[in-house]
A and B are shown apart, each in its own frame.
Chain A
Amino acid sequence: KAGVTQTPRYLIKTRGQQVTLSCSPISGHRSVSWYQQTPGQGLQFLFEYFSETQRNKGNFPGRFSGRQFSNSRSEMNVSTLELGDSALYLCASKGLETQYFGPGTRLLVL
């Protein structure tokens, strides 16, 4: 079975821009979660989508949003980028009992 894929792997943006990241879950998995990982805060939960509906949300500002498509692929969007948004963004595909992570998208905001 193919794993979780994320695109792009690396991204450089400037403050004020917006960015869209993509995640394809493991085939058959209907739930996708997004996490932000930074050296200071560690791994933090952003939100979770199941069958195209946001089911859970972490404590992040409204600039962070997401969506899920009927084929379970998911995108997350960050608008009005700030320097502090520089991070590794991880997508996780949820199986019956736990979550499997993709390689992440490393975002650098200049």
Chain B
Amino acid sequence: QKEVEQDPGPLSVPEGAIVSLNCTYSNSAFQYFMWYRQYSRKGPELLMYTYSSGNKEDGRFTAQVDKSSKYISLFIRDSQPSDSATYLCAIPRTGGGADGLTFGKGTHLIIQP
């Protein structure tokens, strides 16, 4: 079983929809979770990070962690065409702080105008 699993998509939704992006992880010791956004031919850009279970909100973005299910989610409200990108979940390899990261394969999101 891979350490971090993520559906590669593509996921295509109409503008204004709520988007749900998800990852599962295998190691219950993981404590720290991140979401990156990557536009075509660019480096990944940090969107959000969270330590704990529950929700963390930043503007139109909400990160959710369910440690009992080993499941992390990123929700995007009022989606815009500019949100079209690949979204990657990432977890520190040794479970703490900002260590070398293990990434999901990324979900390719397309927001249709």
Within 8 A of B (CB), among A12-69: 31, 33, 35, 42-45, 47-48, 56, 58
What 10 A-B pairs are tightest by C-beta distance, nearest first? A101-B43, A43-B103, A45-B100, A42-B105, A101-B44, A56-B100, A103-B43, A98-B98, A94-B98, A104-B43
Shortest Cβ gap from B95 to chain A (Å): 13
B100 and A90 within 8 A (CB): no
Total interface residues on A, CB under 8 Å, equals 26
- Residue B46, interface by CB 8 Å: yes
How many chain B residues touch A (Cβ–Cβ < 8 Å)? 22
Q: 14 additional contacts, CB 8 Å, given A42-B104, A45-B101, A100-B46?
A: A4-B43, A43-B101, A45-B93, A45-B100, A45-B102, A56-B93, A97-B98, A98-B46, A99-B46, A99-B98, A101-B36, A101-B43, A101-B45, A103-B42
How many A-B Cβ pairs are below 8 Å? Answer: 56
Q: Which residues of A contact B98 (CB under 8 A)?
A: 31, 94-99
Chain B residues, Cβ within 8 Å of A33? 100-101
**Chain A, interface SS category:** strand
- Encode B93-112 as 1/0 by CB contact (under 8 A) with A: 10001111111111000000
1/0 per position for B17-60, CB-CB distance to A under 8 A? 00000000000000000101000011111100100000000000
A100 to B101, CA, bound (A): 12
> Residue of A at shortest CB range from B51?
A97
The docked-state distance in angstroms from the alpha carbon of A74 to that of B98 is 18
CA gap between A97 and B32 in the complex, in Å: 10
CB distance from A30 to the nearest CB of B (A): 12
Interface residues of A in 68-104 (CB under 8 A from B): 90, 92, 94-104
